[in-house]
Chains A and B, each alone.
Chain A
Amino acid sequence: MSVRDLSGSRRWLAFVCCCAWFLFTIFPLYWVAITSLKTPPDVVGGPTYLPFVDFQPTLKAWRELLSGTRGEFFSNFWSSSIVALSSSVFATLLGAMAAYALVRFPFRVRLLSGVAFVVVAMGGFLLGRDVMGIAPASASILAFCVALALSVFINRFPLPGKVMGNDDIVFWFVSQRLFPPIVVAFALFLLYTEMGKLGFKMTDTYLGLTLAYVAFSLPIVVWLMRDFISALPLEVEEAAMVDNVPHWRIFFGIVLPMCRPGLIATFVITLAFTWNEFLFALFLTNSEWQTLPVLIAGQNSQRGDEWWAISAAALVAIIPMVVVAALLGRLMKSGLLSGAVK
């Protein structure tokens, strides 16, 4: 049964319920919007709901925000935009490549080589730091590289134990989003400060924040793109292979355009994550590359209850995502594959 089949009073009841739900979800946005138009006395003097009726709207908060008299708003807006956009583009592209490889090529990872990686990485780090007295950052990077090379190398040999396939690799990717991000954020902060001591400034830099976002977005991208790519017809790629089209051109010239709706959907989801991300930004940035969510969250403690200013800033943080969703939503339409096969 669908809502369309309802008739008479039940139809009206459904309509009223929908309206109630709509009001419930839209109200916070409405509240932020009118609050940004209020004067300080209107905000603190008890609730008022209707502009021009309850209170006289003013653009004072907006004027202050946009004229930059209230601090670093523009700088934060730009760092948010740059980091969010570039990390989403990188993550989507990189994740699409990984997903393509995971769909089209069978991988065999031996459990034992994975264990070897963990043991060598952890043991090497402890050995380097505690016994050989290397700086923690150098020790961990060194141990990591050695462990990676070693595990890739020994994976070529017929080791005993379980052999894992592509589905296991995808699960491993997704599993990185199962634990609380604070675990990673804290470890990442330590790693970045250690690297800073070596001379690579990573905290509060574009590179540091973007790398963290790319790494943390990849699991979702791989997971989403894998479904989109596995839905593509293999024959189209085979036709290109017979036509002597190099593999990288098949990927960029044929596979990516064919899964464009999926790419855009994934990009928007990733962008929403990186634009709204708070925890990493809080840990890894402080002034130069601080993003909007951190700024807005900090307003209350920095300046007190200036809700009109906070509301205006919050709206500015919402608007770009609404615009992106409106622009790209139309490109997410399916049906792009029609005519490829059958």
Chain B
Amino acid sequence: MANITLSGVTKSYGSVEVIPPMDLEIEEGEFVVLVGPSGCGKSTTLRMIAGLETQSGGKMTIGKRDVTTLRPGLRNCAMVFQSYALYPHMSVRDNIGYGMKVRGVPKAEAAKAIDDAARILNLTEYLDRKPGALSGGQRQRVAIGRAIVRDPDVFLFDEPLSNLDAKLRVEMRVEIKQLHRRLKTTMVYVTHDQVEAMTMADRVVVLRAGVVEQAADPITLYERPANLFVAGFIGAPSMNMLEGRLEQVGDELFFRGPAGADFAIPADRVDVLRPHAGEACVMGIRPEHTHDRGGSGASVEIEVLDIEPLGPHTLLIGQAGDAKFTGQVAAGTRAEPGERRQIHFDLDKLHFFRASDGRAIR
């Protein structure tokens, strides 16, 4: 068990800097998920922690050890790859035990470790099979088993569930979380799937173009996104954004947006927003905080483009002015493309961002 500290870590390929100086502190025993769109540098960051990519600058420590220039094998990390990366010519038992065999762990001890790992991961009856005779989920469990017996300071997961089908992914998600609860080892997990990030992490680090946009626990990310990028990335379906302007009329503050989104800001938000009166801003509202049942004045008129009945509720995908807008309405609602609908907001759930730099106004 160990904490990981990245101070000013950079990565460049030639003259292209993919990771500008990054500072990140990962606590001992923490489950941290790095999430972001493809090409945001999350896998590169993970591979730098593993030592598979050399860092171009900065300093990295695992526990009390400076590992900046240490080769991968000496960092005492265990890594699980998206593609499983099993040794195809070895049985499951040998796959899990190969590292121990190389390190010269006594046979009896190694056999016990393999059996324990196999029991935890429900692999006992497959120990003598080759990876080629296993399903995707079982192969990934073998890869995790290989990581467990390493007894590492840090577990690194590089999109381990991306190759699995949806149902298996949910099961494995739970298994990995239980594994973390059982082992209490520091885990760093990379994914592009924000649902995975939200459900598994103690703390989610949202990356864009190598920059940490926000690092916080899942609920904070969801309820108090630091900027437009995080607000749009976290949550599915993603947050609706309406560009508009804050205007002060007497004591009251109004948001004036497109498609009839013109309403007074609730009194408890006025103080925070008042300094930005007269400025362009972006209002955000999550689809799950909208409805079509009438009520207070805050609403927007959308032209329905498509309708997605999901079961518990139905999504109306539409256009409000120039912006896409998704409204969540009761299950069984019927609408035809081209129809116009009034979508109302829950005023307590509004987010406001500065139009200039996208930062949240709080």
Interface residues of A (CB under 8 A from B): 233, 235-236, 238-246, 249, 253-254, 257-258, 260, 335-342
User: Are B99 and A245 in contact, with the CB atoms below 8 A?
Assistant: yes
Q: How far is the CA of A238 from the CA of B51 in the complex (A)?
A: 10
Pick from A239, A246, A257, A336: contact of B81, CB below 8 A. Answer: A239
Q: Which chain B residues border A339 with CB–CB below 8 Å?
A: 86, 88, 130-134, 139
B153 to chain A, nearest CB (A): 12
Given contacts A239-B79, A340-B131, contact A233 B85 (CB under 8 A): yes
Check if A243 sits within 8 Å of B87, measured CB to CB: no
- Give the residues from 230 to 272 in chain B that come closer than 8 angstroms, CB to CB, to chain A: none
Instruction: State whether the Cβ of B98 lies closer than 8 Å to any Cβ in chain A.
Output: yes
Contact yes or no, A341 B83, CB < 8 A:
yes
Is there contact, CB below 8 Å, between B85 and A235? yes
Known pairs A238-B81, A342-B163; A244 contacts B87 (CB<8 A): no
Determine if B148 is an interface residue (Cβ-Cβ < 8 Å).
no
Q: How far is the CB of B278 from chain A (nearest CB, A)?
A: 55
Decide if A241 touches B146 in the complex (CB within 8 Å).
Answer: no
Contact with B132, one of A233, A249, A338 (Cβ below 8 angstroms): A338
* Given contacts A238-B52, A238-B81, A245 and B98 within 8 Å (CB-CB): yes
B150 at the interface (CB under 8 A from A): yes
Closest to A341 in B: B83
Of A240, A245, A340, which one neighbours B88 at CB under 8 angstroms? A340
A238-B52, A241-B72, A258-B88 are known contacts. Are A342 and B83 too (CB-CB below 8 A)?
A: yes
Q: Give chain B's interface residues, CB within 8 Å of chain A.
A: 50-52, 71-75, 77-79, 81, 83-89, 98-99, 102-103, 130-134, 136, 139, 143, 146, 150, 156, 163
A244 closest partner in B (C-beta)? B73
Q: Which residues from chain A contact B156 at a C-beta distance below 8 Å?
A: 242
Nearest B residue to A250, CB-CB: B102
Task: Give B99 Cβ to nearest chain A Cβ, in Å.
Answer: 4
Indicate if the CB atoms of B88 and A242 lie closer than 8 Å.
no
Q: Report whether A242 and B102 are in contact in the complex, using a CB–CB cutoff of 8 Å.
A: no
Contacts of A246 in B (CB 8 A): 73, 102
> A235 vs B77: C-alpha distance in the bound complex, in angstroms?
15
- A245 contacts which chain B residues (CB < 8 A)? 73, 98-99, 102
Asked whether B132 lies within 8 Å of A244 as measured between CB atoms, the reply is no
- The interface residues of chain B, by DSSP majority, are classed as mixed
- Decide: A239 and B146 in contact? CB cutoff 8 A: yes
Known: A238-B52, A339-B134, A340-B131. A243 touches B85 (CB 8 A): no
Total contacts A to B, CB within 8 angstroms? 97
Q: Known A243-B146, A244-B99, A245-B98; judge A341-B85 contact (CB<8 A).
A: yes
- B133 nearest CB neighbor, chain A only: A339
Taking a contact as CB atoms under 8 Å apart, the answer to whether B73 and A242 are in contact is: yes
How many Å from the CB of B312 to the closest CB on chain A?
A: 34
Kindly list chain A residues whose C-beta atoms are within 8 Å of the C-beta of B50: 238, 242
Q: Shortest beta-carbon distance, A272 to chain B, in Å?
A: 26
Q: Which residues of A contact B73 (CB under 8 A)?
A: 241-246
Residues of A within 8 A of B133 (CB): 339
- Chain A residue at minimum C-beta to C-beta distance from B99: A243
Tell me how far the C-beta of B144 lies from the nearest C-beta in chain A, rounded to whole angstroms.
12
A239 CA / B77 CA spacing, docked (Å): 11
Closest to B77 in A: A242
Would you give the shortest CB distance from A261 to chain B, in whole angstroms? 11
Complex: chain A residue closest to B73, CB-CB:
A244
Please tell me if the beta carbons of A236 and B86 are within 8 angstroms of each other in the complex.
yes
Q: What are some 10 contacts across the A-B interface (CB < 8 A)?
A: A235-B81, A242-B52, A242-B75, A243-B73, A244-B74, A244-B102, A246-B102, A339-B134, A340-B86, A341-B85
* Minimal Cβ-Cβ distance residue in B for A234: B85
Contact partner of B98 among A233, A243, A258, CB < 8 A?
A: A243
Docked Cα-Cα span, A238 to B139, in Å, equals: 17
Q: Indicate if the CB atoms of A337 and B79 lie closer than 8 Å.
A: no
**Within the assembled complex, what's the spacing in Å between the Cα atoms of A340 and B132?**
7
Contact across chains for B52 and A241 when beta carbons are under 8 A apart: yes
| Interface-centre pick from A239, A244, A253, A340 (highest chain B CB count, 10 A) | A239
Cross-chain contact of B72 among A236, A242, A337, A342 (Cβ < 8 A): A242
The 10 closest A-B pairs by CB, nearest first: A244-B73, A339-B131, A339-B132, A341-B83, A235-B85, A243-B99, A340-B88, A338-B132, A239-B85, A257-B89
CB distance from A297 to the nearest CB of B (A): 43
Min C-beta distance of A237 to chain B, whole Å: 8
> Are the CB atoms of B88 and A338 closer together than 8 Å?
yes
- Given contacts A235-B81, A235-B83, 6 further A-B pairs with CB under 8 A are A238-B79, A239-B86, A245-B99, A249-B102, A258-B87, A340-B131
In angstroms, how far is the closest chain A Cβ from the Cβ of B108?
Answer: 20
**A254 CA to B101 CA, complexed, in Å:** 13
How far in angstroms is the closest Cβ of chain B from A200? 40
> In this complex, which of B51, B78, B89, B131 has the most chain A Cβ atoms within 10 angstroms of its Cβ?
B89
Q: Which of A242, A249, A260, A340 has the most CB of B within 10 A?
A: A242
